[in-house]
Amino acid sequence: MALLVDGRSLQTPSQLRGIGRYTLALLRCLKGRSRCRFLFFDPPPEEFSSQALLYPGPRRMISWLDNLFLPPLFRRFGITLYHSPAYALPGRIRGCRSLLTLHDLTPLHFAEDFSWRNRRVISRLVGSIADADLLLTDSEATWEDLVSRGLDRGVPHRVVYPPLTAFSDLEPPQMELPQEYLLFCGGPDRVKNLETAIAGAGLAGIPLVVAGPGRGGERAPEGVLYAGHLSDRSLGWLYAHASALLLLSLNEGFGYPPLEALSCGTVPIVSDLPVFREVLGPGAIYVHNPRSGEETAGAIKSLLSDRTLRQRVLEEGRRRLSLYSAERFGETMGEVYDSLE
């Protein structure tokens, strides 16, 4: 088997999102594997250079142009299995099996919050499910969402949980921080529901630090501090010193921040989504109405005033962390690839 894993998302803005975290972890668990190559637009970081193949086409219109540029590349290098963790498959290619990872269907649920381009990209990705020999999802919740919409196409499926980031050598970010703060970690899209996190933190009377890309130059509301995109060393530090994490998303396919917070000893307060119940179990405080600042503030106050509650949630959450280890992910992905030989 000659495996090609698509790493191009690591050279786009997606590198700062969950897809980037997933793709980076996937490539790292495959480093050094024989007959395994990684697809990039440009020469990659040194750690992947010995396994890199460069995409011969332009960066634009990837979902369309892959049909033209990828088949000759596969034939030239004898690729027999292609794994796409971010883009639509390039149709059926003779002599090559295909594996597709679908992370979530958020642009289909909240079309009004996404550009025409983003909606078109997810539509093409979902449409390419029929060309997959196997479909992976990050959670049962995403798979059930797909099935409920009749989009599964009868393709074989498997859930493979992504691995957690291992934070080490923590260092504080280069910004002035209050002694006590709540943390929000996520992008600027409305589905992450930052507005309710700001409202809940304000009603609880605790500053909110917002970590994530996409808010350069934007003026922060009172009681809110924008940290921007951070290194993992600084992000881990923020997790470890926060009073709680707030993530009141309206939809998720997996959700890295709550698990990352738990791994750093911080309780997550999250929206009551099926995916969070699946991934976190009792290792979180749930807000039933994610648009309610009052309910969010009540959850914050309850957690911070009850040490027993905090300790119980942390213990429950830490019991689940082994499900999301890099070792488990690597072993499972090895089984997946071997099953498609």
Residues 134 and 195 in one domain: no
What number of residues does the chain have? 341
Is residue 256 one of the residues assigned to a domain? yes
pLDDT score of 316 = 97
| pLDDT tens across the length of the chain (341 residues) | 899 999 999 999 999 899 999 999 999 999 999 899 999 999 999 999 999 999 999 988 888 899 999 999 999 999 999 999 999 999 999 999 999 999 999 999 998 888 888 888 899 999 999 999 999 999 999 999 999 999 999 999 999 999 998 899 999 999 999 999 999 999 888 999 999 999 999 999 999 999 998 665 668 888 999 999 999 999 999 999 999 999 999 999 999 999 999 999 999 999 999 999 999 999 999 999 999 999 999 999 999 999 999 999 999 999 999 999 999 999 999 999 999 98
pLDDT score of 60 = 86
- C-alpha of 174 from chain center: 25
The number of C-alpha atoms within 13 Å of 153 and in the hemisphere containing its C-beta is 15
> Which stretches within the chain are classed as H helix?
18-30, 46-49, 62-77, 106-109, 116-127, 140-148, 194-204, 232-241, 256-263, 274-280, 293-305, 307-320, 326-339
Residues 43 and 127 in one domain: yes
Residues 129 and 204 in one domain: no
Is residue 176 one of the residues assigned to a domain? no
CATH number for the domain including 275?
3.40.50.2000
Label residue 238 exposed, middle or buried (CB < 10 Å: 0-12, 13-18, 19+): buried
Residues 40 and 132 in one domain: yes
Residues 134 and 186 in one domain: no
pLDDT score of 216 = 59
Nearest one of 206, 203, 231, 208 to 220, comparing CA atoms: 208
Is residue 169 one of the residues assigned to a domain? no
pLDDT score of 115 = 86
Domain residues for the domain of 269 are: 182-324
CA distance 1 to 332: 17
CA distance 302 to 307: 9
CB atoms within 10 A of CB 223: 16
CA distance 144 to 137: 10
Biggest CA-to-CA distance, the chain = 63
Strands 81-84 and 3-6: parallel
pLDDT score of 235 = 97
Residues 27 and 149 in one domain: yes
Residues 150 and 199 in one domain: no
Is residue 188 one of the residues assigned to a domain? yes
Residues 14 and 136 in one domain: yes
* DSSP result, 54-100: E--S-STTHHHHHHHHHHHHHHHHT--EEEESSS-----BTTBEEEE
Please tell me the total count of domains within the chain: 2
Token pair of 128 as six digits: 């390419």
